[in-house]
């Protein structure tokens, strides 16, 4: 893949060695904290409730709303939260199931399939062998940081091998735009003259971390283009779920398969764009540019008590409130804008929808809401943060 030379200086700036990151981590941990005080939720209890409700005894994350299907997304998020909670036994269980069932036994040689579950003939197994790059990126990051924090070289080596696979198969240099992480294998998302992207698939802190570990890879260049992607693809200041790019026409909202029907929206994927942007370390390059590219949600919450479930393709917010997980996802984003009133309002909504008996959010708890809640509240409660080079800062290692 061609690397754009104007971005090489950024790659050099981020080229920290793994030992150096280890040395810097302790100092960074005390510096990078959110100002949402004090801790509002018991993060250990949230993790335990999640595993009790959504994780099987063999390490499979189950989504009851989709026929008990398992996705690489679910596995990648659970690995992250196991690391945040210093739950190595669960981490190894999740990793073992993921490798055995989604990656033919080796994540260093095979990108994980994105879905596994019960087929129409009643048998359990892979439903779609294609990969999902956001999950792949998270798993590589989980392995790299688990290796650093738990002093386990095997994790680091496996994470590097997986990152190399992602770079070879899921990163493209788009003519007229630049390097980008495609949603999956490059050929699957280059349809005719269009390139199909998902802005929520590219958390900058993950890319920055991979750039620090693998400075020769495409990661710094991809990270440098994420603010540009948001600036050019947002509508009315709102992020979109899926966007299509063609040289000359630029970016337009679209569907994953490139078709324009039903109407494209900003919704369950796009809500993560605000979450990831807000969790970038304050001193990290590009953070303010990321936040400035998507001001729509902050403006909307000046007039409404809950975020909208959907944004139309023209950037108009539709009136139906989003689920409780949306409120959690916006906590880091709102912190970035310094809007304490909006933070308090969303925090109040979260508290009102937490079942103290189950310690799950929502009247009918869903897999996705709980993940968004653990990301948003865990960051706000300083259970974890991300350093300037994307390194994971966790409470238990301080």
33 pLDDT band, cuts 50/70/90, is very low
DSSP-derived secondary structure for 29-75 = HHH---S--S--S-HHHHHHHHHHHHB-TTS-B-BGGGTTBEEHHHH
pLDDT cut 90: percent of the chain above it? 85
Can you tell me which residue has the tokens 């779920």? Answer: 241
Can you tell me which residue has the tokens 């540019």? Answer: 289
Q: How many CA atoms lie within 13 A of 113 on its CB side?
A: 17
Coil/strand/helix, residue 226: helix
315 Rama class: left (phi>0) / alpha (psi -120 to 50) / beta: left
Burial class (CB in 10 A: 0-12, 13-18, 19+), 398: exposed
Distance CA 1, CA 275 (A): 30
345 pLDDT band, cuts 50/70/90, is very high
2 pLDDT band, cuts 50/70/90, is very low
Closest C-alpha to 335, from 317, 323, 347, 350: 347
Residue 121: give the domain boundaries: 5-397
Catalytic residues: 73, 134
DSSP-derived secondary structure for 154-197 = HHHHHHHHHHHHHHHHHEEEETTTEEEE-SSSGGGGEETTEEEE
The dihedral formed by the CA atoms of 181, 184, 186 and 190, expressed in degrees to the nearest 10? -100
Q: How much is the pLDDT for 37?
A: 56
CA angle, 125 as apex, 120 and 129 as ends, to 5°?
100
Number of domains the chain is built from: 1
Can you tell me which residue has the tokens 């974890």? Answer: 384
Q: DSSP code of 7?
A: G
Distance CA 269, CA 163 (A): 23
- For residue 29, is pLDDT > 90? no
Q: How much is the pLDDT for 361?
A: 98
CATH number at residue 383: 1.50.10.10
């Amino acid at each position: 893949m061609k690397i754009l030379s104007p971005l090489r200086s950024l790659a050099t700036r981020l080229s920290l060695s793994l030992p150096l990151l280890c040395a810097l981590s302790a100092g960074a941990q005390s510096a990078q904290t959110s100002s949402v005080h004090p801790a509002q939720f018991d993060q250990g209890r949230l993790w335990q409730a999640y595993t009790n409700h959504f994780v099987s005894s063999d390490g499979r994350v189950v989504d009851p709303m989709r026929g008990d299907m398992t996705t690489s997304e679910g596995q990648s998020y659970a690995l992250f939260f196991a690391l945040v909670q210093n739950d190595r036994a669960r981490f190894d269980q999740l990793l073992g199931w993921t490798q055995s069932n989604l990656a033919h036994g080796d994540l260093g040689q095979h990108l994980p399939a994105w879905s596994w579950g019960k087929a129409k003939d009643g048998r359990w197994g892979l439903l779609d062998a294609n990969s999902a790059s956001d999950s792949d990126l998270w798993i590589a990051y989980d392995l790299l940081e688990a290796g650093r924090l738990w002093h386990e070289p095997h994790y680091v080596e496996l994470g590097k091998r997986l990152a190399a696979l992602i770079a070879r198969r899921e990163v493209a240099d788009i003519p007229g735009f630049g390097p980008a992480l495609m949603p999956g294998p490059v050929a699957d998302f280059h349809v005719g003259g269009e390139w199909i992207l998902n802005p929520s698939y590219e958390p900058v802190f993950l890319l920055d971390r991979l750039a620090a570990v693998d400075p020769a890879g495409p990661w710094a260049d991809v990270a440098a283009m994420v603010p540009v992607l948001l600036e050019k693809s947002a509508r009315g200041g709102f992020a979109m779920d899926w966007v299509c790019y063609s040289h000359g026409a630029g970016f337009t909202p679209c569907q994953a398969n490139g078709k324009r029907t039903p109407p494209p929206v900003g919704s369950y994927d796009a809500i993560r764009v605000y979450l990831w942007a807000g969790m970038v370390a304050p001193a990290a390059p590009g953070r303010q540019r990321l936040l400035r590219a998507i001001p729509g949600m902050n403006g909307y919450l000046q007039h409404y008590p809950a975020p909208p479930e959907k944004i139309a393709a023209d950037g108009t917010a539709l009136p139906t409130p989003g689920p409780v997980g949306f409120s959690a996802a916006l906590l880091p984003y709102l912190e970035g804008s310094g809007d304490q009133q909006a933070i308090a309002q969303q925090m109040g909504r979260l508290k009102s929808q937490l079942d103290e008996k189950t310690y799950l959010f929502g009247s009918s708890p869903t897999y996705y809401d709980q993940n968004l809640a653990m990301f948003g509240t865990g960051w706000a409660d300083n259970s974890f943060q991300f350093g300037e080079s994307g390194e994971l800062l966790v409470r238990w290692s301080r």
